[in-house]
Amino acid sequence: MNKHVTQDDIIYFVMTDRFFGRNKRTVDPSDDSIHGGTLDGIIEKLNYLLELGVTTIWVTPVYENIERFGTTEPYHYYWPLRFDRMDNRLLDGTHLPNSVDMRTFGKFVDICEAKGMKVVLDMVVNHAGYGAHEGFDPTWFNVNGSGDIKGALAGLPDFNHDNPQVLDYFINNIEAWITRGEVTNIRMDTVKHVEPKFWHHFKAQIRGQYPDSCLIGEVLFEGKEDIGKLLQYQNYHDFDSIFDFPLCTALRSTLIYDESLRYWLARPRLNDHEPLGVLDDDNPFKGGYRNANRLVTLLDNHDLQRRIMSHARAKHPGEGSGLDWALRVTKLCLGALFTIRGIPQIYYGTEVGLEGWTVGDDDRDLRRDFPWHVIGDDNHPRQQFRKEHEIFEWTRDLIHLRKGNAALKYGTTITLWSDDLVYAFLRIATDDVAFVIINNGYAKMSHPIQLDLNPSAIPKRVETMMAGGLKHWKMGQTLTVQGGKVVVEVEGKTIDIYCRGVA
């Protein structure tokens, strides 16, 4: 089994405390105590994740955390007290030893990998938990932050990685988690708040000695104007991947809130003066990402303003037609996530339409407990839960499609058409091709659209594969290709996907 994250993977992000555990309490989202989700509980639910089709599970940090800050317990485990051992609150004795030694996490990794599931561990090097600075040399911390990209994060004790003692400590700590905790894949928290010198040492020592390790950086720049700042972490600091927050913003802004696809996603290339969309920054020869296909793409997570279903419900409130439209645009967003380049990441519960939002600085509601009461013994939502069942089945089918389609996993992206309401593109792999088109209007196209297969950009063999060889992924009808043109008609707020080998 290849243990590091690749373009073959679908990542599922779990906030461990809110997922499942033998003694877990399900309480109001406003309750800021630890609810009792554990690593053992994740093991208990691996069959559910396998049924959904995900291949990789990303878990929140496992360090020993402080007891509490004010009235809040560190249910998210981002407030470390000690970096050299686990927190016993994440263990319930069901499947794992009760030992807080790093090797216990290695046991978790072994069990997941035996089921065919890779593991990403969330790591923190930027800060300690509130009050935890007393356990470290006081010279290890910044005072009020330093430099343009550095600053105290929510008042947490802020490590100074320009201090060689701090650098040395964390490099060795990460190596210990790799060797004793069997960590291959690292999601690094709050990357932009860490002094750049640290990444030079990481690249030399960790990546040099452990070349199979995979580093995914969380750099929270969300606007398309921020891509230049974002991509430096992949291009210059040698991260394997970073989270594509600008694409997340683009999909939400267009598919939920009806902004222009041409402005946000990709320009139609009718002239040289059009504003660039997010996908136009994929080209490394024009100052873009080193490898955009390795970016981790997402619709929501634990730090953003709302879950994607809550955005959809804000745009389309009420029951009846309101819920129908909310389901439709959420499925449209998921369709885009699994067909656009990158490595898709699902936030736990998104596959069943779980809601949640941030109010001011309070993000507890964004981290609701997983609604296990809707899941039946077959690891599918029960039929009476319409919303949950419909989104789960749609998500599972998209994952199955992507996993079996080389073009959707590895293919080069060729934009065929882009305007305010329509975006059409090809994904071309060595011996595979997929055609995807989005109609972001609310009505069916009034007549079929005809899209040129420009021979200056598209090999003749691709046109040959497409002609009579691509079928709709759900309905099975053959894509019409006539005289070097694709002819297609799409319903409103719909994504149509045509692939080879679809029954």
**CATH value at residue 155:** 3.20.20.80
DSSP, res 450: E
CA dihedral for 175, 111, 211, 236, sign (positive or negative): negative
Count the domains in the chain.
2
Relative to beta strand 185-188, strand 118-123 is parallel
Residues 394 and 484 in one domain: no
Residues 406 and 422 in one domain: no
pLDDT tens per residue across span 204-231: 999 999 999 999 999 999 999 999 999 9
147: pLDDT confidence band, cut at 50, 70 and 90? Answer: very low
Domain boundary among 410, 442, 458: 410
pLDDT tens per residue across span 380-416: 999 999 999 999 999 999 999 999 999 999 999 999 9
Domain boundary among 410, 444, 465: 410
Single-letter amino acid code for the residue at 152: A
- Is the CB of residue 293 less than 8 Å from the CB of residue 341? yes
Residue 89: pLDDT over 50:
yes
The answer to whether position 1 is within a domain reads no
pTM of structure: 0.96
pLDDT of residue 298: 98
Q: Which residues, 6+ apart, have CB-to-CB distance to 86 below 8 Å? A: 62, 63, 64, 100, 101, 102, 104, 105
Residue pointed to by tokens 């559910």: 48
Q: Among residues 55, 59, 27, which one has the least CA distance to residue 41?
A: 59
The answer to whether position 89 is within a domain reads yes
- Is the CB of residue 329 less than 8 Å from the CB of residue 337? no
Domain, as residue range, for 333? 11-410
Where on the phi/psi map is residue 213: left (φ > 0), alpha (ψ -120 to 50), or beta? beta
Question: What is the average per-residue pLDDT within 128-157?
Answer: 78
For the chain, give the percent of residues with pLDDT over 70. 97
